[in-house]
Amino acid sequence: MTNELLLWLLPLPPLLAFALIVLFLNKSNKASHTVAILSVVLSWLGSMVLFLRALGIGAEALAEHPMHDSLVWLPGKTSLLRIGVYLDPLTAVTLFFVAWTIVMIFVYSVGYHNYGQPKGDHDEKGYPPHGATVEEHGHKHKVPSIEPMYARFFAFVSLFAFGMYLLVVSDNLLTLFAGWEIMGLCSFLLIGFWFKKESARAAAIKAFMTTRVGDVFMLLGIAYLYVATGSLAYTDVFNPEVLHQLAHSPAPVLGMSVAGFIGLLLFIGTVGKSAQWPLHVWLPDAMEGPTPVSAMIHAATMVSAGVYLIIRVFPLLHAAAEVPEFLSPMPIIAFIGAFTALFAATIAVAQNDIKRVLAYSTISQLGYMVAAVGIGAYVAAAFHLVTHAFFKALLFLGSGSVIHGMEHGVLHTGERIDPQNMYNMGGLRRKMPITFWTFLIGGFALAGFPVVTAGFWSKDEILGEAFAGHHMGVFWTLAVAALLTAFYTMRQITLTFLGEPRTEAAKHAHETPWTMTVPLMVLSVFAVGYGWVGVPKYFPVLGGLLPHWFQEWVGAVFHLYVKEEQAVSHSLVPLLVSILVSLGGLALGYVVYRGVTRADQPDPLARPLGPIFTLLKNKYYFDELYAFLFVRPAYWLAEVFTFRWLDRTVIDGILHAVARLSWNLGQFLRNYIDLPLINGFGDALGEGAKGFGRLFRAIQSGRVQHYMLVALAHVVAFLMLVYYYATMS
Amino acid sequence: MVAYWIFALVSLLMVLAALVAVTNRNLVRATMGLVLVLFGNAVLFVLLEAYFLAVAQVIIYIGAIAILIVFAIMLTRHVGDAWGPAFHRAWAWAVVVAGGLAVGLLFWIAHWPAADGKAKSPVDPQYTKLLGKALVAPDGYVIPFEVASALLLAALIGAIYVAWGGRRVKGPYPQRSEEKEA
Amino acid sequence: MNSWTNHLLTLILFTPALGALVLWFLPSRPKVQRWAALVASLVPFVLTVVLWVNFDFQRAGEFQFIERYPWYDAIGAAYHVGVDGLSLVMVLLTTFLVPLAILASFSIQERVKAYMMLFLFLETGMLGVFLALDLLLFFVFWEIGLVPMFFLIFQWGSAKGERTVWPGFTLQARVYAAMKFMVYTMAGSLGLLLALQMLGLVTGSFDYLQVLERWNSISGPVLPNIPLYIPVSLVKKVAFWAFVVAFALKVPVWPFHTWLPDAHTEAPTAGSMILAGVLLKLGAYGFLRFVLPLYPAESQFYAPVLAFLAAMAALLGALAAWGQWDFKRLVAYSSINHMGFVVLAVAAAAKAAGTEHAVQALNGAVLQMFNHGLTAAGMFFLVGVLYDRAHTRNLKDFGGLFGTVPFYGGVLMFTAMASLGLPGLNSFVSEFLIVRGTWPVLPVFTAISLVGLLFTGAYILKGLKHALFGPLVEKWANLPDMTLREVLVIGPLMALMLLLGIWPLTLLDVIHRSMVALVNLLAG
Amino acid sequence: MIPLGAYLMVSAALFVIGAFGALARKSAVAILIGLELMFNAALLNAVAFWRYLHPQGFDGTVFAIVILAVAAAEVAVGLALFIAVYRRFGTAEADEIALLRG
Amino acid sequence: MGAFLRDPSVLVEALRTLFLGWGLSPGLTTLLLYVLGGLVLATGPMLWVIFLIWFERKAVARFQDRLGPNRVGKFGLLQPFADVLKLLTKEDIIPAGVDPILYWAAPILSVAGVLLLWPAVPLGLGIGGNINVGVLYLIAAGTVGTFAIFLAGWSSNNKYALLGAMRTVAQLVSYEVPMVLILLIPVLLARSMNMQDIVRAQDVWFIVYVPLAALIFLIVSIAEIGRTPFDLLEAESEIIAGFHTEYSGMKFAMFFAGEFLHAFTIGILTAVFFLGGWRGPGAETYPVLGILYLWLKGFLVYFVVVWMRATHPRIRIDHLLNFSWKFLTPLALVLLVVAALLDKVVVDLGTWPRALAHLVSHGVVLAVTLQIVRAWARRLPRPVVSEPRPVARPQPQPQPTGTGD
């Protein structure tokens, strides 16, 4: 099979699986997960084949001549819009991590949704399973029950996978946007998967609407790009000449070049999708979905898509930044990224929900990537994207495993506690060893534990680039964020796994089945190993020993646009800072939270930080702020202003007034014109005619012939008269 | 030459028949006189090369009007019988007026220069076809044509209504009361 | 082209009316009437497919299948019909939707014969508007469409509710809606009729092509043929606004839109389907067929005004939809929102006459018309399905239906997403094209409209949220899922939504060719 | 060729005879017969004028056709009235039916 | 001979030369030729009637399982001649109180009315009638027959004769309406009132185009000639012999001959309007052959008429009139309108598609008509034959009240 055909076919198996499950297989759990997993494995296989073939071609060659195929999709007056598939080194690495994480998440989902367990006692569609009672060895006890909408889950998640594959293999922004939006829909469906839960419903809508804000801007950006270049394909748009032209023509607003403006608009799409401040609010709420979905959104697909986009359009941003007479969008991007990284990290410190911590850490890490792009470190951003995908998937799946184990305990003991609250855990390392070790690896990777973990390499590269590029603000912000990251990661590990169990449920927690642990193990391999393919050249000792394959591979894509930098003297400052914050944060976290022994104990930081802690715990009151600033006024605008006031009162009021006026006019005409004047006149006429009739009734003989006689006599007389005058003249 | 003879013969016949039609006491005979006049008129039309009108004359006057008259006579008993005087008392006045009319008309015709005129040009062989088209052409005679149609329809409905005589309409199989009682 | 297809348009146009007459003679049993009406409406669809097959797509910008017979020679009016790409698409939409609407109205129980006959007459009226190439004929069909719709709303509208017009004068809601619909549209038609007659008088013909040619070549400061010495520019302006108001009422453009929510809400399900699916397109079609070609200069001059109104429609329509708790009214307002984009595109095309932008905008507009026909019809139908079962449309009464009626839920989700403009489904393509076409021309209004697009998401999600999501209301625990008939109605709609989303060229090709012709015409 | 005057003479004669009949007869049917004679006279006139004066035009023939239609309508209504009157009064003598006398 | 077969007018030309050779003036010659032609046209059919009488008696007899005339001549062929002789020699009875002129005029008009139809009939290519308003002429000439019957009835001074005459007039006038309407259909299809043109237009016989119209025409024609099942005018059981009760001898024979000839004439007319007239293989080349074809077709229809006479009972007078006014007239009107509209659309399609379109339209009209008739018939009250008798059935059980509704 040719590469291009394979690329075309790549997104299709999940779509087919979606269609099959929705239309035919929704009754059978086994068939649906078989089909779903089979489909993603097929796509995975295709991705791997393509990846290997891409490796065979080599970075430079592939960057020069990417795999590309397209066909006409939309007509235009002068040009046709083509859509197609595309594979260059960036696509290849993205495809790599997407394929792996998706397969792992799919396999994990089988266990997570309790496949093979009995049906719940009173589970119903739209609520999470509540557990089933089974009789074992003569006594009843509760065990987790299978998800009532098992097949539906696999259908949705397959569609999700389709969206991501579509986005990745697209050769143009339009199909990228299509995949983007399909994922938006899927996130809506999956966050609201337990649709009868009020919180899930609200979260789903919040996710969709918040990302849609970004999407609308992005659509505008795409449209603008289409206007400006007549094409949306990367090959056409990122043509140096086109870029040059875009970068040198002014945009209507903000003093930007067209390229910069389009880049900014597209970036707003990223802000929405990758949950950057100020559109970050949806992501933590998205935890309402099942955990595999969280992993899917946070690692494999959605948020990665945002960063992927911004890296993908980097040539555009870069071109815009190159022209000094226009405002560059890059600082904005860097600012938002760095700010988000710090901002989210601070919130994460004060969260108790195991998934929420991770959610904020995702926002924070995405901020890293965005900031990296903002300072021009696109390769570092891509690198962090990949490593983050692996370890974040690992962490989410791990946390899901923890929750699952906790739920088992909760069901067993019947305690009424939140199985997601870290304060209710503790000491799980003994109960769930595989989960513990894999989680530990993931956590350390997140924290950037030096040298060993992938997270260290990628994060270090970002810091290094920031330092090297003299973006000191970004550098220090990110460094602080890294410290906080290490801190809350260790807080999480300590609270969850170390120490002693703080509740009965934690004591009865169980290791999860193999379908869940195997993905954890596989991902932990990548969480460690993937870092080793991208060790920077300048790194002491190791830099010479290990390959810096990633930098060369992805960098090849951008060498076409970015001039080779002069050999920058690489300082050791960022490296040291990186190691310092990582280890310091970890240590600090362990020290502070080591002493938590009771479930209802207040957070050790609560007292020293005081109101700041409350602020952090309430996420800086952003939800409330948005509700006050946007949501409530919008509701008022919609219900009261537009509908009740403008439509019903003003416009309809005018109409009704006109109607009433006409009505009254008609009444007036009838009562004062028609009846007295016109009818009166008619009546008078009739009366007059009657009078005449009375006068002339005498000559009515009633005999027809009489009348005729008279008439004819007149004719004769007339004839004679005429004849008389005719002859006279 | 033949045409002259035919014309003379037919005209004479027509006048005689007309006299019969207005004087004969027996209405059926009077009607037959009328029919003869109508037929004679059709012959004159043929002489005038108005073939279509000749045929129409026969169809409408003889085929419809005369038959209707006959029918009416037969539907009303005794009316067709030769009974009583044909004219009412004031018939002399009628003679006077009709005579006056006759004198007037004859004078007119006699003194009208165009009266001894000859036909200007022959009739187009396609005349009937053209006439048909003219009758329904919007810039032709469609309005008189439609008015005539409307008139005929009105007459049709009116005649039915008037002659109906208020009889009740019954179903095709009137239920006889005996049958019901049985 | 053989001689049979010479009369194809006439056949398409009058088969429904003929079918209605046949219906008259058939027994009044509902079953017979329904199936007969369905068959009668399928015939034009089949004929339209034949038309589609025989259509010369290379010449989509010209009128084809022209039939011309003198009708009223004295004033230069003729029975003149023909299709170009634009009409073809609209005819296809009409003949495609009507059978589905009739199938959807199988649930009508009372006075089925009258209902079906009205429906078929309505189809003829709508088709006539799309096919007519004679101004007078156009107007006649324009008005013909009103009458059946009026009765459909008036007689078969929803039974509940009333509206107070002014204190002491309260009407039943459907009566109110029907009257409003009728009076409103008639008011618009008044100006249209006058303007049409003026055109006919000035150019001496009612033939579209001749009017087009002569009207645009009028030179000199004073109008010919009219013994009033009025300056041409003034007349053109007034006539332009007469046209615009008539069509804007029909589209409808803010602030002439308030009849629409009432009429759509009160009409029977199938009536709403057709109302939203086709009748609104009449207005947009009028813009494309008459306003732009006849008044290129005025359109260009007043494009910002039109764009402002359109942007308002897009924004306020979406907002008002969001503010609704009546599901059907919500969908009704969504039509205003969607059609606002069409008018926006028209305005942009007028402003940027002759450019690539104009072509793209108009492509988007026509495609949006078709797409909105599909999605709005689908949404109305689905609301109707829900109403048939629950006898309420209040969103507050629903909840959690996704578990009870999963199939319905899926279908509703699909259709709603199509309406929202999810890529991969039809509306996205048209919205994208419109934005692409309007953005460079009218950036501010496009931006306003895009805010509307944001709220499109909001109201769609609101509907889904309250109907499908949330805690289950016990009342609806045993709600039956969709029947086969209902699936047959929505199935073709969904198939087309998907097809057009994935492969818009199926329609866009012909639309594009005709729009290029139109834009070239505008550019002169 | 026969001169126009000859036709006019015949027509005049018919008209006068018809007029006399219509004026003098007692029976309603007979009056109708008289009227028909008058109609025919007019018809003959119309056709004769057409033939002699405007053989290319249509006015005369159309006029004749309208006369035919009017005559037919008149007879139909007249006879219907006649029958109705006969039913009502038991007679059809015109001068006995004078209820409309003022 | 060959020349005559190709162009029969050579005979006329030969005669004309002959007469001119005798020294007659051209005008007189023409007149003479007209008279001669008229004589031939009048005598031919009259002689043919003699054969028709024989044929009908024989055919009806066969239908009724009898032998029919078989005494005079071979197969009784000479029987009609014998009858004619008998009638000629009978006493000419004139009842008292008859109106002498009209009484005499009636039988003559009766035959004349039929013979008047013949000049319009195209006998072959270039032979026979070629009147441009031929169809109108037919209708006009048809009225003469009506008059004859009416005069006969009225002048006889006989109650039954008058009743018969009234029935006849009512019947004939009623059936003239659908006949005229139906005749307009072939006129419309041929775009001409000239019967020659109508025949020439029938590349495909019009019966293929408009079978219903042909059927209606046949029915209406039978009614026009007053034959079974429409022979109310001489319903023996009700009004003795109808209008010719008081006629005997040769005057009666003329009525009789007129009726038979009329029957054959409508056969010929049906052939002309719907069966392609004189058309047939070779009729264009040898017009005389056309006369033969026409005769055969006419005779075929005549046979159908005889057949109907032998098989159908007479129908009631009110049915007769209702049938015309409430069924045939509306149907004919609908057919006419449908044909007119349809033909406007399909006229350019070529012969067969056009014929097919018309045929299909007739199928549709027939189906709709049958539906309507069926629906109407269902609503008719059935004549009650007898009250339903009480039938033994189980005693009704007392139903619990309040549940049914």
Residue A208 inside a domain? The answer is: no
- In a 3-state reduction of DSSP, which class is residue C207? strand
Closest-CA distance, C11 to chain E, in angstroms, reads: 10
pLDDT band at A564 (very low <50, low <70, confident <90, very high): low
pLDDT of residue C396: 87
- Count of CB contacts below 8 A, A vs D? 33
Closest listed residue to residue A497, CA positions, set A454, A541, A441: A441
- The 10s digit of each residue's pLDDT in A678-707 is 888 989 999 999 998 888 777 777 777 778
Chains D and B in direct contact, meaning 3 or more beta-carbon pairs closer than 8 angstroms: yes
Number of H helices, E strands in chain A: 34, 4
Domain at D13, CATH number: 1.10.287.3510
CB contact under 8 A, C25 and E348: no
Residue with tokens 């400052």: A573
- The 10s digit of each residue's pLDDT in C296-338 is 888 889 999 999 999 999 998 898 888 888 899 999 999 999 9
Chains in touch with D (≥3 Cβ pairs < 8 A): A, B
- The 10s digit of each residue's pLDDT in A357-376 is 888 888 888 888 888 888 88
- CB under 8 Å, gap of 24 or more: what pairs does E96-103 form? E96/E157, E97/E157, E98/E155, E98/E156, E98/E157, E98/E246, E99/B26, E99/B28, E99/B29, E99/E154, E99/E155, E99/E157, E102/B28, E102/B29, E102/B32, E102/E151, E102/E154, E102/E155, E103/E151, E103/E152, E103/E155, E103/E156
Contact (Cβ atoms closer than 8 angstroms) between residue A462 and residue A381 = yes
Residue B144 CA from chain centroid, whole number = 20
Say what percent of chain A tops pLDDT 90: 2
Q: Rounded to whole angstroms, how far apart are CA atoms A227 and E277?
A: 75
Q: Rounded to whole angstroms, how far apart are CA atoms A505 and A499?
A: 15
pLDDT of residue B169: 46
Q: Rounded to whole angstroms, how far apart are CA atoms A334 and A330?
A: 6
Q: Residue D54, Cβ neighbours under 10 Å: how many?
A: 14
Over residues A328-338, the mean pLDDT reads 88
Residue B180 has pLDDT above 60, yes or no: no
Its domain, for residue D91, covers: 4-96
pLDDT of residue A286: 83
E218 touches chain B (CB under 8 A): no
CB contact under 8 A, E345 and C3: no
D10 touches chain A (CB under 8 A): no
pLDDT of residue A228: 85
Q: Rounded to whole angstroms, how far apart are CA atoms D2 and D4?
A: 7
Question: Same domain for C331 and C274?
Answer: no
Q: Residue C283, Cβ neighbours under 10 Å: how many?
A: 26
Contact (Cβ atoms closer than 8 angstroms) between residue A40 and residue A13 = yes
B18 touches chain E (CB under 8 A): no
Q: Rounded to whole angstroms, how far apart are CA atoms C505 and A73?
A: 6
Residue C381 has pLDDT above 90, yes or no: yes
Q: Rounded to whole angstroms, how far apart are CA atoms A343 and A360?
A: 9
The nearest alpha carbon in chain C to E348 belongs to C3
Reported as type and span, the H/E element at residue C443 is helix C443-467
Say what percent of chain C tops pLDDT 90: 26
Its domain, for residue C346, covers: 295-524
A587 touches chain C (CB under 8 A): no
pLDDT of residue B172: 47
Question: Cβ contacts (< 8 Å) between D100 and chain A: which residues?
Answer: 700, 702
A252 touches chain C (CB under 8 A): yes
Contact (Cβ atoms closer than 8 angstroms) between residue C150 and residue C166 = no
Closest-CA distance, B143 to chain D, in angstroms, reads: 11
CA dist E140 → B58, E113, E144 (Å): 6, 10, 8
Contact (Cβ atoms closer than 8 angstroms) between residue D20 and residue D34 = yes
Q: How many residues does chain D have?
A: 102
Question: Cβ contacts (< 8 Å) between A716 and chain B: which residues?
Answer: 97, 100-101, 104
Residue C290 inside a domain? The answer is: no
Using the 3D structure, point to which of C257, C285, C313 is the last residue of a domain: C285
CB contact under 8 A, B106 and D12: yes
Q: In terms of DSSP H, where are the helices of E240-350?
A: 249-274, 287-311, 317-322, 329-346
CB contact under 8 A, A223 and C454: no
Residues in chain E predicted with pLDDT less than 70, given as ranges, are 1-6, 233-238, 241, 382-405
Residue A342 has pLDDT above 60, yes or no: yes
Q: Rounded to whole angstroms, how far apart are CA atoms C81 and C65?
A: 8
Q: Is the peptide bond before E100 cis (omega within 30 degrees of 0)?
A: no
Closest listed residue to residue A591, CA positions, set A493, A502, A485, A453: A493
- The 10s digit of each residue's pLDDT in A260-317 is 888 888 898 888 888 888 888 888 888 888 888 888 887 667 888 888 888 888 888 8
pLDDT of residue B102: 86
Residue A408: exposed, middle, or buried by beta-carbon count in 10 A (0-12, 13-18, 19+)?
buried
CB contact under 8 A, B100 and A723: no
- In a 3-state reduction of DSSP, which class is residue C167? coil
Question: Same domain for C312 and C456?
Answer: yes
Q: Residue E61, Cβ neighbours under 10 Å: how many?
A: 16
Residue A373 inside a domain? The answer is: yes
Question: Same domain for A423 and A474?
Answer: yes
CB contact under 8 A, A716 and B100: yes
- The 10s digit of each residue's pLDDT in C154-172 is 888 888 888 888 888 888 8
Closest-CA distance, E369 to chain C, in angstroms, reads: 10
> Residue E394 — φ and ψ, nearest 5°?
-60, 145
Which candidate in A697, A703, A710, A719 is best for mutational testing of the D interface (most D CBs within 10 A)?
A703
Q: Rounded to whole angstroms, how far apart are CA atoms E97 and E64?
A: 41
- The 10s digit of each residue's pLDDT in A474-488 is 888 888 888 888 888
CA dist A167 → A85, A239, E241 (Å): 10, 21, 101
Q: Rounded to whole angstroms, how far apart are CA atoms A34 and A671?
A: 82
List strand residue ranges (DSSP E) for A175-248, in order: none
The nearest alpha carbon in chain C to E368 belongs to C25
D99 touches chain A (CB under 8 A): yes
Q: Per-residue DSSP letters for E65-95?
A: T---S-SSSGGGTTHHHHHHHHHHTS-----
Over residues C88-93, the mean pLDDT reads 92
CB contact under 8 A, C25 and E371: yes
CB proximity under 8 Å: A 78-107 to C: 78
Residue D58 inside a domain? The answer is: yes
Q: Per-residue DSSP letters for B114-146?
A: GGG---SSPPPTTHHHHHHHHHH-TTTTHHHHH
Please report the domains of chain B, with CATH numbers, ordered by start residue. Answer: 1-83 (1.20.120.1200), 126-164 (no CATH)
Q: Rounded to whole angstroms, how far apart are CA atoms A28 and C225?
A: 77
Strand partners, D86: none
Q: Of A81-85, A321-325, C488-492, which gets the smallest average pLDDT? A: A321-325
Q: Rounded to whole angstroms, how far apart are CA atoms E58 and E65?
A: 10
pLDDT of residue A145: 81
C66 token code pair: 């022209």
CB contact under 8 A, E166 and B71: yes
Question: Same domain for C278 and C301?
Answer: no
Question: Same domain for A705 and A561?
Answer: no
Closest-CA distance, C491 to chain A, in angstroms, reads: 13
Say what percent of chain A tops pLDDT 70: 96
Closest-CA distance, C78 to chain A, in angstroms, reads: 34
Question: Same domain for A468 and A387?
Answer: yes
Question: Cβ contacts (< 8 Å) between B23 and chain D: which residues?
Answer: 21
Over residues C450-461, the mean pLDDT reads 89
pTM value surpassing 0.80: no
CB contact under 8 A, B28 and E102: yes
Q: Of A167-171, A634-638, D29-33, E315-319, which gets the smallest average pLDDT? A: E315-319
pLDDT of residue C5: 67
- The 10s digit of each residue's pLDDT in C41-76 is 999 999 999 889 888 888 888 888 888 888 877 777
Residue D101 inside a domain? The answer is: no
Contact (Cβ atoms closer than 8 angstroms) between residue A434 and residue A521 = yes
Question: Can you say whether residue C67 is alpha, beta or left, with left for phi > 0 and alpha for psi between -120 and 50 degrees?
Answer: beta
pLDDT of residue E45: 80
Strand partners, E122: E128
Question: Same domain for A442 and A522?
Answer: yes
* Helix, strand, coil percent content, chain C, rounded in steps of 5: 75, 5, 20
Closest-CA distance, C73 to chain B, in angstroms, reads: 8
Angle (deg, nearest 10), helices C85-104 and C112-131? 170
Q: Residue A71, Cβ neighbours under 10 Å: how many?
A: 11
Q: Rounded to whole angstroms, how far apart are CA atoms A340 and A63?
A: 32
In total, how many domains does chain A have? 2
What residues contact residue A67 under an 8 Å CB cut-off, 6+ apart? A3, A4, A7, A50, A54, A85, A86, A87, A88
Question: Same domain for A557 and A706?
Answer: no
Contact (Cβ atoms closer than 8 angstroms) between residue C231 and residue C270 = no
Domain ranges across chain E: 90-376
Question: Same domain for A609 and A631?
Answer: no
Q: C43-60 burial string, b = 16+ CB within 10 Å, else e?
A: bbbebbeebeeebeeeeb
pLDDT of residue A665: 93
Its domain, for residue A667, covers: 625-710
Q: Rounded to whole angstroms, how far apart are CA atoms A273 and A276?
A: 8
Q: Of A61-70, C212-221, C344-353, C416-425, which gets the smallest average pLDDT? A: C212-221
CB contact under 8 A, E368 and C27: no
Chains E and C in direct contact, meaning 3 or more beta-carbon pairs closer than 8 angstroms: yes
Closest listed residue to residue A477, CA positions, set A339, A665, A307: A339
Residue D33 inside a domain? The answer is: yes
E140 touches chain B (CB under 8 A): yes
Using the 3D structure, point to which of C259, C285, C311 is the last residue of a domain: C285
- The 10s digit of each residue's pLDDT in A363-410 is 888 888 888 888 888 888 888 888 888 888 888 888 888 888 888 888
C422 token code pair: 């999810």
Residue A602: exposed, middle, or buried by beta-carbon count in 10 A (0-12, 13-18, 19+)?
exposed
pLDDT of residue D101: 59
Closest-CA distance, E158 to chain B, in angstroms, reads: 13
Question: Cβ contacts (< 8 Å) between A705 and chain D: which residues?
Answer: 22-24, 31, 94-95
Task: Give the one of B88, B98, B107 whose C-beta lies nearest to A723's C-beta.
Answer: B107
Residue B80 has pLDDT above 60, yes or no: no
Question: Same domain for C178 and C29?
Answer: yes
Residue D56 inside a domain? The answer is: yes
Reported as type and span, the H/E element at residue A336 is helix A330-349
Closest-CA distance, C355 to chain A, in angstroms, reads: 8
The nearest alpha carbon in chain A to C455 belongs to A209
**What type of residue is A102?**
I
- Select, from the ranges A23-32, A123-132, A181-190, B160-169, the one with the highest average predicted confidence (pLDDT): A181-190
pLDDT of residue B181: 41
- The 10s digit of each residue's pLDDT in C187-217 is 888 889 988 888 888 888 888 888 888 888 8
Residue A72 inside a domain? The answer is: no
pLDDT band at A565 (very low <50, low <70, confident <90, very high): low
A17 token code pair: 């699986």
CB contact under 8 A, A723 and B104: yes
**What type of residue is A68?**
H
More confident of the two residues A639 and A669? A669
CB contact under 8 A, E371 and C7: no
A67 token code pair: 């795999």
